[in-house]
Structure 1
Amino acid sequence: MTDTPPDHLSIDPRSPHFNRDALERGVGIRFKGSERTDVEEYSISEGWIRVALGKKMDRHGRPLTIKLMGPVEAWFQSGGDTDEAGDGEQADAED
């Protein structure tokens, strides 16, 4: 798998932009300079994120979302095949 996350990603399994492999690695999102953990869907090239609108639900039981426009940055939170956290834990044990 590459080190760059997809340009468009959704956490909804019904979406054509759903990618289980990318979501399992963990994708971090920075929107307008601050990290966001509540992003339901994003598009880097179009410059928007979609977030839940409180606890409101639509008639099908899915959360209502709002689209926010602005600069979007995405990165993988884990390295995929390599275990970077294990190296740091081993160094701490030697001290």
Structure 2
Amino acid sequence: MNDTTTLPQLPDRLSIDPRSPFHNEAAFERDVAIKLNGKEYQNVEEYCISEGWIKIPSGKALDRKGHPMLIKLKGTVEAFYK
């Protein structure tokens, strides 16, 4: 029997940037939610569960190539599908 309700497991490290080696298009077929220390973040660019960090944009600051500057927040990371 095929169960279509089971979702693939999220990877340990995932990035929304297609230039990153940790980008996985299949993981983004559904909405992915990230919690850091119990607080849900909507603007996560990259996360790593095993190392315990997420990267989020730092305001409106851009680097010289026009990409947002990222800051790293550390703590307990939980990734799940909405």
Q: TM-score range by the shorter chain?
A: 0.7 to 0.9
Structure with the largest fraction of helix: 1
Shift of 1:21: 1.0
> Who is 1:88 aligned against?
none
For the residues of structure 1 that align with 2:10 and 2:20, how far apart are their CA atoms? 17
| Partner-residue secondary structure (3-state), 2:45 | strand
Structure 1 stretches lacking a partner, 5+ long: 78-95
> Who is 2:3 aligned against?
none
2:46 is the counterpart of 1:44: no
The answer on whether the counterparts of 1:57 and 1:63 sit within 8 Å (CA) in structure 2 is: yes
* Rg comparison, structure with higher value: 1
The count of residues paired between Structure 1 and Structure 2 equals 77
Structure 2 stretches lacking a partner, 5+ long: 1-5
> Who is 2:62 aligned against?
57
- AA aligned opposite 2:70: T
**Identity percentage over the alignment?**
53
Over aligned residue pairs, what C-alpha RMSD do you find? 1.3
For the residues of structure 2 that align with 1:17 and 1:76, how far apart are their CA atoms? 18
